[in-house]
Structure 1
Amino acid sequence: MAAKRTLNARNLEALGAATLAELLIEVSAGHAVIQRRLRLALAAAAGAEGAAQEVRKRLAAISRSTTFLDSTRRKALLADLEAQQQAISGPIATADPALAVELQLRLLELSEGVLDRSSDSTGAVIGLFQRGVDALATLAAAAGSDPQALVEQAAELLQENGYGQFEGLIPALAPVLEAAGLLRLEEALLERGGVDRFTMEQLALGRGDLEGYLELFEPSQLTWPDTAAEVAGHLLQAGRAGQALAVLDHAAKATQIMEAEAWHATRIAALEALGRGDEAQQHRWLVFCKTLSIPLLRDYLKRLDDFADVEAEERAMAVAEAHPLPLAALQFLVFWPALPRAARYVIEHGEAWDGDAYEIHEPAAERLSADHPLAASLLLRAMVVFALSMGRSKRYRYAVEHLRQCERLDACIDDWQGVEPHSSFAGRLREAFGQKWSFWQLVER
């Protein structure tokens, strides 16, 4: 019986059209976004032109609006725009691909105005328009759009790219415009005031002009690890592994080279492409010892002979435990995972934990709590003490939960191994930070 009450499409279909219609009317009352989606669905059922009129009307209304989009309004607008996008890419595109292209362009033209009045800390708004670029390319290909008209439309969009929402436009349209169309696009952009460096790179790559792309870089720019990795990646794709390696080695002495993940990944790929697998393995191990990169270690181990990987993994654990950065070691041991080692490491380095690194402490404590409650408690305590000692009131509600977790874990700990028991820690905490009344109010609530 319970299965028939589960909310899924099959069970709802069984209610019948009349019942569902009544429910939709009831649910949509007072919800403008839902009502607009229902009207859009009704228009689409009547044909592409009806749906197009509904989409035009809604896009025009959004264009006219000047209301600031806080988190609540942003969510509603995103749902609205997603509905318009689905109508354009779905029933309208099926019936009239050219009409769909026209409407998709109108939707993308909204981007600058919408982003100007949005609080987009999550990147959800810009992400919608970035996906819309790919939709435009798909629709234009299906419609067989006139290349010259598409060039003009693309040039206009690129002139309104203040938030980088159209950075993917040239790669997306390259298969549709082809080399000749991309040359015309470059000319159109020059006529409108110029072409920035990033766009020039995209145009050259889109045309398959690797030499033209390479000429855009000064030798000094190739000493930057990320730039060298990007250029070398394109050389690798073109089968020019030797040249790719030379470009990478040109940046090898950069001070930030060890943190440049893309540089290392591309160098390893270049060595493998040149048949220098042993050197690639040496590089994986060298970088792992410095960075404790889990993906690099996994790649290293899977290329070893049978049983050699067991010994190498043990060496890797020892390297991690001797690493000069305790947080890096903790993150590696927890997420490898080697939880017993991680627990021992946490306890041995009890004074090293800086509760500011909550993005590492919190998931580590969660993973350790089941079988290693003492280690989990130490990490939770560090976050509580940091929040209170630094007066981070925005973290207080999280700190309260961490303190409660410590209290729950207290019952699971038989041997404190010389660590201060929870009751003593909690008493000392109140004595030291009793004046943080807003925190203690949350504790007692």
Structure 2
Amino acid sequence: MKRPTVASLKRVNAENLAGLGAERLAEILVGVANTRPELKRRLRMELAAAQGAEHLALEIDKRLGSLETSRSKVSWRQRATFIRDLDALRDLIAGRLAPLDRPAALERLWLFMEVASRVNLRVRDRDGSMAAVFERAAGDIGALLREADGTAAAEALASAVTRNPGGWTAWLPLALEGAPPGLAQAALRSLSARAGATAAWLPVIRGLADAAGDADAYRSTFTAEALRTPPVAAEVAERLLRAERIEEAGRVLEAAAAKPPARGWTGARARPAEPDYDWETAWIEYLDRSGQGAAAQAARWESFERTLSAERAKAFTRRLSGFDDVEAEGRAFERAAAHEDFQRGLQFLMDWPALPEAARMIQDRADEIRVDDDLTQLWAAKLRGRHPGAAHLLLRRAAAAAFRRRDFATCDRLTQEADSIALPEG
């Protein structure tokens, strides 16, 4: 067996540190802890945990109380240490207290979430690292909720929501992941029985309604006027369709359908409003689910022609048999290649992807090329392998456009990239 080297024995790892012995390690830890309050606090909690759940809970309560009452700002120098300490407290509750006493741990996690609004006033969370601590805590709550008493857990969740609805809008999906639908339904009932509801509760109620599979509770959060708007109607109809309430979903969508212009209107006001894309998606699903497959296909194609959506075109062709799908693809490519907006047409062909057709469009409509610089580089990179001439032309036209607007740095970059493409001879 190969003997360890001196260098390997000096590496700071668990095996080497264990070799120092418990007494020496304890001396080192005490020395460091005397200069680092957060480490000393962690060691005290670990010692309390060794004495039992009651002692650890007491230390956790002290720290939670301190976080709740403290008002001092956390400087940028202290920020990383503060967030690590906060996450260590979360881990002590979920990782050390929970195995000893699950109800006590769940109670402390609810309290932990309560301090979020307080610490947010003290710390500038530029990179989202503190928000991530509370997201992990919401996940910890979810793990404990799976085995908690349903009624008590629902009441606790409802109470937490009323105190910080904004925070729970983001945390709710994490807390309810894997939880039984009955928990969300019970929390909904609890919220509906409480006074003092505000508009801030609505996103959370919708989240609970989705978790409970309760389409009626979701719909009840919108006014009758809002339900007549296409985006809201699409949301509600989607949930009704999920609940197999197909005809009801159709009625909701029909009530919000774009209306034709009034007689006598001229100009822009005389043109019918374009359907909302999400409303149209729900309408197509309704047509399919209600046995109107041909009408759904017609709606898909009409939507594609208007929006040049690759999603719509692919959904249309997937439902064709034999060689009909190939013919439909060809028609879609022709429609995109001839579209009045060059970039939108090329976007469709690149997204499909239909690179030969995209290259042909670039060559055939060279004088019309108008593409954003970032898309030019992205698409040229995709084309240069098999269609170097089209990639070169695309980059050259973009470079010329940059030169005309006096963006010489971009012009040079695009020109150099164009020159790096090996063109076929002749």
Per the normalisation by structure 1, the TM-score is 0.66
Give the 3 Å change call, closer, same or farther, for CA 384–279 of structure 1 in structure 2.
same
Bigger mean CA offset, 311-320 vs 97-106: 97-106
In the comparison of the two structures, how many residue pairs are matched?
387
In the alignment, the residues of structure 2 paired with residue 386 and residue 76 of structure 1 have an alpha-carbon distance, to the nearest angstrom, of 52
Cα deviation for residue 376 of structure 1 reads 5.2
In the alignment, the residues of structure 2 paired with residue 58 and residue 78 of structure 1 have an alpha-carbon distance, to the nearest angstrom, of 14
Cα RMSD over matched residues?
4.9
One of 138, 151, 168 as aligned partner of 2:155: 151
Give the 3 Å change call, closer, same or farther, for CA 125–270 of structure 1 in structure 2.
farther
Cα deviation for residue 337 of structure 1 reads 1.6
Is the Cα contact below 8 Å between 2:139 and 2:174 reproduced in 1? no
**What residue is the counterpart of 2:113 in the other structure?**
108
In the alignment, the residues of structure 2 paired with residue 131 and residue 223 of structure 1 have an alpha-carbon distance, to the nearest angstrom, of 38
1:40-439 superposed matches below 5 A: 49=53, 64=70, 66-67=72-73, 84-86=89-91, 88-116=93-121, 126=131, 129-130=134-135, 132-144=137-149, 147=152, 150-152=154-156, 154-162=158-166, 165-166=169-170, 168=172, 172=176, 175=181, 177=183, 179-188=185-194, 190-191=195-196, 196-198=201-203, 201=206, 210-211=215-216, 213-214=218-219, 217-253=222-258, 257-258=274-275, 260-346=276-362, 348-349=365-366, 352-353=369-370, 355=372, 358=374, 360-371=375-386, 372=388, 373-375=391-393, 377-378=395-396, 381=399, 389=407, 403-404=412-413, 406-414=415-423
Identity %: 27
Cα deviation for residue 244 of structure 1 reads 0.7
What residue ranges of structure 2 are gaps of 5+ in the alignment? 1-10, 21-27, 260-271
In the alignment, the residues of structure 1 paired with residue 83 and residue 277 of structure 2 have an alpha-carbon distance, to the nearest angstrom, of 34
In the alignment, the residues of structure 2 paired with residue 272 and residue 411 of structure 1 have an alpha-carbon distance, to the nearest angstrom, of 50
In the alignment, the residues of structure 1 paired with residue 339 and residue 75 of structure 2 have an alpha-carbon distance, to the nearest angstrom, of 46
Bigger mean CA offset, 325-334 vs 380-389: 380-389
Cα deviation for residue 385 of structure 1 reads 5.1
Is the Cα contact below 8 Å between 1:228 and 1:247 reproduced in 2? yes
Is the Cα contact below 8 Å between 1:92 and 1:100 reproduced in 2? yes
In the alignment, the residues of structure 1 paired with residue 64 and residue 133 of structure 2 have an alpha-carbon distance, to the nearest angstrom, of 15
Per the normalisation by structure 2, the TM-score is 0.69
In the alignment, the residues of structure 1 paired with residue 218 and residue 380 of structure 2 have an alpha-carbon distance, to the nearest angstrom, of 48
Is the Cα contact below 8 Å between 1:225 and 1:257 reproduced in 2? no
Cα deviation for residue 116 of structure 1 reads 4.5
Is the Cα contact below 8 Å between 2:229 and 2:256 reproduced in 1? yes
Give the 3 Å change call, closer, same or farther, for CA 163–306 of structure 1 in structure 2.
same
Is the Cα contact below 8 Å between 1:365 and 1:377 reproduced in 2? yes
The one-letter code of the counterpart of 1:248 is L
- SS class of match (1:301): helix
- SS class of match (1:143): coil
**What residue is the counterpart of 1:17 in the other structure?**
15
Is the Cα contact below 8 Å between 1:157 and 1:166 reproduced in 2? no
Give the 3 Å change call, closer, same or farther, for CA 365–34 of structure 1 in structure 2.
farther
Is the Cα contact below 8 Å between 1:333 and 1:342 reproduced in 2? yes
**What residue is the counterpart of 2:4 in the other structure?**
none
- SS class of match (1:353): coil
In the alignment, the residues of structure 2 paired with residue 183 and residue 325 of structure 1 have an alpha-carbon distance, to the nearest angstrom, of 52
Give the 3 Å change call, closer, same or farther, for CA 52–257 of structure 1 in structure 2.
farther
Is the Cα contact below 8 Å between 2:371 and 2:398 reproduced in 1? no
The one-letter code of the counterpart of 1:289 is E
Which of the two has higher C-alpha Rg?
2
**What residue is the counterpart of 2:8 in the other structure?**
none
Q: Report Cα offsets for 1:62-119 as digits up to 9, x if no partner.
A: 653654787x987776666555555544454344322331232233223323445666
Is the Cα contact below 8 Å between 1:272 and 1:280 reproduced in 2? yes
Is the Cα contact below 8 Å between 1:343 and 1:375 reproduced in 2? no
Give the 3 Å change call, closer, same or farther, for CA 180–104 of structure 1 in structure 2.
closer
Is the Cα contact below 8 Å between 1:354 and 1:382 reproduced in 2? no
Is the Cα contact below 8 Å between 1:323 and 1:329 reproduced in 2? yes
Cα deviation for residue 222 of structure 1 reads 2.4
The one-letter code of the counterpart of 2:237 is A
Is the Cα contact below 8 Å between 1:68 and 1:118 reproduced in 2? yes
In the alignment, the residues of structure 2 paired with residue 233 and residue 97 of structure 1 have an alpha-carbon distance, to the nearest angstrom, of 38
Give the 3 Å change call, closer, same or farther, for CA 316–105 of structure 1 in structure 2.
same
What residue ranges of structure 1 are gaps of 5+ in the alignment? 1-12, 390-395, 418-445
